[in-house]
Chains A and B, each alone.
Chain A
């Protein structure tokens, strides 16, 4: 129908029996970010019905099954629709095992009727949804109709404020979750090897990748042009990726916080031995096991500075599924261009929720395979007559050449090692030789600044700015609208990678005050920015949200407002 929608699935770290919420937001303006205050609540969870009732905003509609609760203390400011769900579902079917599923469809019918949804649209949707299960098609339609007719002429219908009508807002848009999007990006980006250990919320990424590979990665003779290995732990999954990357493949692993911690030693190895590899971290709320099914942006520092010794790694920060798709391809390219480990930090909100996002483009450009020397290159001494040494800086950009294992040339071989090595790759404990290599790594880091996705600035000369990254795209846009209405027009800048680009510094300098939004308690990007741009720390303020839920536009707007006008009526001080 062309109406912008966004969905947030709030689910427990449990398989059966715990409450789950699904927030669906539709907005003609296109604001589809998380909003906790629901105009209409279908109280499906018996265990939390009182809680959900209290959370209903004034003027809201509360639809519930009276048999789920003996006595609900009704409020003056809420409209109630009580549904005799047992009666209705019994009318729909006598099959016990279908009853639970048909309950859903009765509520679908009720909502469709209140919203004035065209019956044909709903019918087509059900046909499409159940096209492979035609045996239960009619019974589902019957349940929808039972729901519709139950509330047809319901007194609430007259005051129900929401109606849907077709728009044309979704042209060139798709609805997709970030993990599927990443899997698609890795597919078209040419990843041939994945090793992983199951962990929420990253699991569906590798499972989607493997599914796509089975469908679209078969050779003419039926062989698999990919290998996916479920490893024994994350120590092994990252080490398999390093083995594959070292041997010339485009390889990745996907994980979340606890797995990221286990991969630390290998991260340092990849950095120092310069092995292309990609780690996709779908962040969840920590520390420790934390809340595996809740969202956060709390692995920024641990990914960026992963491992002991002097290490640092490029980190890509996709803002939505579209960028998951794009950055997956770019991460594979960057890993080979820079010959290092590259992290992509998505989060549970992007990874597992369905987002309305721009249509994906079919890739036209070839893969970047980086500075790889073939036997022929070595034969004709292509490095301007200079000999090939694995860790030498021939081009002055800090990026060395490599000859892959299997290159049949006497100069190709070297022994890759994590111990001290010189520019020839030979073991060394000599300070000057050691420093030559680590100083080149520093130069490579400088080169990386121009190669990673640059920040995106949305500016119209305001003196206040919001700096943010990752899953907060929609929220910041909406918060800016709210703030503008309150006379606090803001500009914004979205960081898309570490190392930080220079535009960030310029943006901060142009502002009187900048609010840096982090979905973590430590203010991780804020702290990294302070360290990187100490000359402009006085303008920078940290706004931190770490409840495990996505941040809401209203929360961000309120916090900026409180800081800008400390004397006005404050809702709450400090962190969100």
Chain B
């Protein structure tokens, strides 16, 4: 339900208890902006998270929305159960790199595989903050911990993993790039299906030192922005002819969203790829990684898939609201069932 008389204050939440300068606080602000811009009523939003610094975020935005700060690594299945019994709400899941790529990797993979209709934000800083700086599986090989130890292992790239599982919307962003994150979030909110946004969000306390590949400085230096993003409501496209201009300009791709608006993507990197081409998206990730770059932008979109609730052929009335009349077989049907056991 779109609402026009809400102010930005209607989308804020409690005061953050994260460290000053944490990338996650930037993400909070981007989420507030994206929901405010989208005009979605907070009463229609459900927030789900796991455990960790990242998973505290639902307390800091959309305080009028119900939320569940669940267990470590369990954001995905908790969101799955919640979404299926009331698929009329908009779901945003907030998880971290430990919560998703380590303890919750199984749940993540299966949520993506099922194409649950949710925005899945990973606030990715490469370390466990609340336990003081241990490496997470998204930490790059060779990166140094705050105590100077080198990471021996290959990282888990959540974006290439998601694309491999044919996730229907996969993006990476940098928390400091508000335009990028807000536009990706707005598109993700309106995308029907799983929208994974891996947001690199530096940990100011345990992973912002020299030798870390997830510090503000390192990410800013190595970031390769793939596209310049903007969201254009459909009415602009019609009135100002942007749609036509887009068609003519082959460096701009347009992604039509469920409310009729469009996400416009203008290639800025030397590499340009078709966001609907899965293999091209993988190539971008692999090639830039080999060069030590951090590509950010929208990698891949597949709008042709049913999301999970659609695949399960769920009714228009949410399952949670069905009553005895909807749920009990008639007395005659019941007697017919029992006849098999006489």
Which residues of A line the B interface, CB within 8 A? Answer: 174-176, 180, 184, 187-188, 190, 192-193, 195, 212, 216-217, 219, 221-227, 229, 231-233, 235-237, 239-249, 251, 265-266, 269, 273, 359-360, 362-363, 366-367, 404-408, 410, 412-419, 427
In the docked arrangement, what's the CA distance between A237 and B78, Å?
9
Residues of A within 8 A of B43 (CB): 406-408
B327 touches A413 (CB 8 A): no
In the docked arrangement, what's the CA distance between A265 and B309, Å?
27
> Quick one: which of A229, A362, A410, A414 contacts B331, CB cutoff 8 A?
A362
Give the segment of B61-69, B242-250, B286-294 that binds chain A: B61-69
- A243: nearest residue on chain B (CB-CB)? B81
B77 touches A212 (CB 8 A): no
B21 is an interface residue with CB less than 8 A from chain A: no
In the docked arrangement, what's the CA distance between A410 and B65, Å?
9
> Quick one: which of B70, B78, B85, B89 contacts A249, CB cutoff 8 A?
B85
With known contacts A192-B85, A247-B46, A265–B66 Cβ distance under 8 A: no
B321 is an interface residue with CB less than 8 A from chain A: yes
Residues of B within 8 A of A247 (CB): 46, 81-82, 85-86, 320
Give the segment of B151-159, B260-268, B332-340 that binds chain A: B332-340
Give, as a whole number of angstroms, the nearest-CB distance from B12 to chain A. Answer: 13
With known contacts A188-B334, A192-B319, A362-B334, A225–B85 Cβ distance under 8 A: no
Give, as a whole number of angstroms, the nearest-CB distance from B165 to chain A. Answer: 12
In the docked arrangement, what's the CA distance between A217 and B333, Å?
11
A219 touches B78 (CB 8 A): no
Task: Report the interface size for chain B: residues with CB under 8 A from the other chain.
Answer: 61
Interface string of B176-215 (1 = CB under 8 A from A): 0000000000000000000000000000000000000000
In the docked arrangement, what's the CA distance between A83 and B44, Å?
73
Residues of B within 8 A of A248 (CB): 85-86, 318, 320-321
Give me 20 A-to-B residue pairs in the complex whose CB atoms sit less than 8 angstroms apart, sorted by A's number. A174-B341, A188-B327, A195-B81, A223-B316, A227-B309, A229-B81, A233-B106, A239-B78, A242-B70, A243-B70, A243-B80, A246-B82, A249-B86, A367-B323, A367-B324, A408-B43, A410-B64, A414-B66, A415-B66, A416-B69
In the docked arrangement, what's the CA distance between A432 and B200, Å?
39
With known contacts A184-B337, A227-B319, A247-B82, A366–B312 Cβ distance under 8 A: no
Give, as a whole number of angstroms, the nearest-CB distance from B107 to chain A. Answer: 6
> Quick one: which of B44, B106, B342 contacts A232, CB cutoff 8 A?
B106
How many residue pairs at the A-B interface have CB separations less than 8 Å? 203
Residues of A within 8 A of B342 (CB): 174-175
Residues of A within 8 A of B42 (CB): 413
B326 is an interface residue with CB less than 8 A from chain A: yes
A240, A363, A414, A416, most chain B CB atoms within 10 A: A240
In the docked arrangement, what's the CA distance between A188 and B315, Å?
18
> Quick one: which of A176, A223, A243 contacts B68, CB cutoff 8 A?
A243
A190, A362, A419, most chain B CB atoms within 10 A: A362
In the A-B complex, the 4 residue pairs with the smallest Cβ-Cβ separation, listed nearest first, are A243-B81, A248-B320, A240-B81, A239-B77
With known contacts A175-B341, A226-B319, A406-B89, A240–B110 Cβ distance under 8 A: no
In the docked arrangement, what's the CA distance between A413 and B42, Å?
10
- A364: nearest residue on chain B (CB-CB)? B331
A416 touches B338 (CB 8 A): no
Interface string of B37-48 (1 = CB under 8 A from A): 000001110111
B328 touches A188 (CB 8 A): yes
Residues of A within 8 A of B269 (CB): none
- A177: nearest residue on chain B (CB-CB)? B341
With known contacts A227-B314, A405-B89, A236–B76 Cβ distance under 8 A: yes
- B41: nearest residue on chain A (CB-CB)? A408
With known contacts A190-B327, A227-B84, A239-B81, A418–B66 Cβ distance under 8 A: no
- B74: nearest residue on chain A (CB-CB)? A239
Residues of A within 8 A of B65 (CB): 413
B338 touches A360 (CB 8 A): yes
In the docked arrangement, what's the CA distance between A172 and B77, Å?
43
B59 is an interface residue with CB less than 8 A from chain A: yes
B338 touches A243 (CB 8 A): no
In the docked arrangement, what's the CA distance between A269 and B71, Å?
8
With known contacts A266-B71, A269-B71, A363-B328, A249–B320 Cβ distance under 8 A: yes
Interface string of B101-134 (1 = CB under 8 A from A): 0000011011000000000000000000000000
Which residues of B line the A interface, CB within 8 A? Answer: 42-44, 46-48, 58-59, 63-71, 73-74, 76-86, 88-89, 106-107, 109-110, 309, 312-316, 318-324, 326-329, 331, 333-335, 337-338, 341-342
B64 touches A240 (CB 8 A): no
B341 touches A176 (CB 8 A): yes
Residues of A within 8 A of B313 (CB): 222-224
In the docked arrangement, what's the CA distance between A243 and B89, Å?
14
In the docked arrangement, what's the CA distance between A244 and B63, Å?
21
B79 touches A225 (CB 8 A): no
In the docked arrangement, what's the CA distance between A349 and B68, Å?
39
A415 touches B69 (CB 8 A): yes
In the docked arrangement, what's the CA distance between A367 and B109, Å?
36
A240 touches B327 (CB 8 A): no
- B331: nearest residue on chain A (CB-CB)? A362
- A369: nearest residue on chain B (CB-CB)? B323
In the docked arrangement, what's the CA distance between A225 and B318, Å?
9
In the docked arrangement, what's the CA distance between A484 and B46, Å?
63
B85 touches A244 (CB 8 A): yes
A243 touches B78 (CB 8 A): yes
With known contacts A266-B74, A359-B338, A193–B59 Cβ distance under 8 A: no
Give, as a whole number of angstroms, the nearest-CB distance from B80 to chain A. Answer: 5
With known contacts A225-B327, A249-B319, A416–B68 Cβ distance under 8 A: yes
In the docked arrangement, what's the CA distance between A184 and B109, Å?
33
Residues of A within 8 A of B333 (CB): 216
With known contacts A192-B319, A406-B89, A231–B327 Cβ distance under 8 A: no
B67, B81, B110, B323, most chain A CB atoms within 10 A: B81
Residues of B within 8 A of A174 (CB): 338, 341-342
Give, as a whole number of angstroms, the nearest-CB distance from A12 to chain B. Answer: 26
A406 touches B67 (CB 8 A): no
Residues of B within 8 A of A406 (CB): 43-44, 46, 66, 86, 88-89, 318
A229 touches B337 (CB 8 A): no
In the docked arrangement, what's the CA distance between A248 and B319, Å?
9
Residues of B within 8 A of A362 (CB): 331, 334-335
In the docked arrangement, what's the CA distance between A229 and B313, Å?
13
- A427: nearest residue on chain B (CB-CB)? B59
Residues of B within 8 A of A242 (CB): 70, 78, 81
With known contacts A174-B338, A243-B77, A406-B86, A227–B312 Cβ distance under 8 A: yes
- B81: nearest residue on chain A (CB-CB)? A243
Residues of B within 8 A of A192 (CB): 85, 319-320, 322, 327
In the docked arrangement, what's the CA distance between A174 and B309, Å?
37
Residues of A within 8 A of B82 (CB): 243-244, 246-247, 405
In the docked arrangement, what's the CA distance between A251 and B338, Å?
24
B85 touches A193 (CB 8 A): yes
B331 touches A235 (CB 8 A): no
B85 touches A415 (CB 8 A): no
A273, A415, A427, most chain B CB atoms within 10 A: A415
Residues of B within 8 A of A405 (CB): 46, 66, 82, 86, 89
Q: Could you list 9 further interchain pairs (A-B, Cβ under 8 angstroms) beyond the known A174-B338, A187-B329? A: A216-B337, A236-B76, A237-B77, A248-B321, A251-B81, A367-B324, A413-B65, A414-B66, A427-B59
